[in-house]
Amino acid sequence: MAGRDSEYERPILLACGGCDARWTALTAAHCPTCHTTFASATSGFDAHRVGGTCQPPPRVGLHEDRGYWLLADERAPGRVLHAEPPDTITRRMAG
């Protein structure tokens, strides 16, 4: 569109300084301790913290979709990008 800055059309890309995760969903919550990304802070993120400790998402009933860990009724708000293959991350978190 004429008169618009080309940067205006770009999606916002958020990143973690401690791992290679990148995402665009502003509602997402990324844990700075275990470096897992959730659809929101009030659902999966809270569920994975039990007694102040990170739990593997499958252990607390979460499932993965496009790099986000979700509760049963949630949908991924986009996609989490990693330099590391996603199956490696899933195996590490299932631990």
> Over its length of 95 residues, how does the chain's per-residue pLDDT go in tens digits?
444 444 444 566 889 999 999 998 888 999 999 999 999 888 789 999 999 999 999 999 999 999 999 998 888 888 888 776 555 555 555 55
CB contact at 8 A, 48 and 62:
yes
**pTM for the model:** 0.74
Copy the structure tokens of residue 82. Answer: 């990693």
Radius of gyration over every alpha carbon of the chain, rounded to an integer in angstroms: 15
Q: Which residues are CB-neighbours of 72 under 8 A, at least 6 positions away? A: 61, 63
Q: Are strands 49-50 and 37-38 parallel, antiparallel or unpaired?
A: unpaired
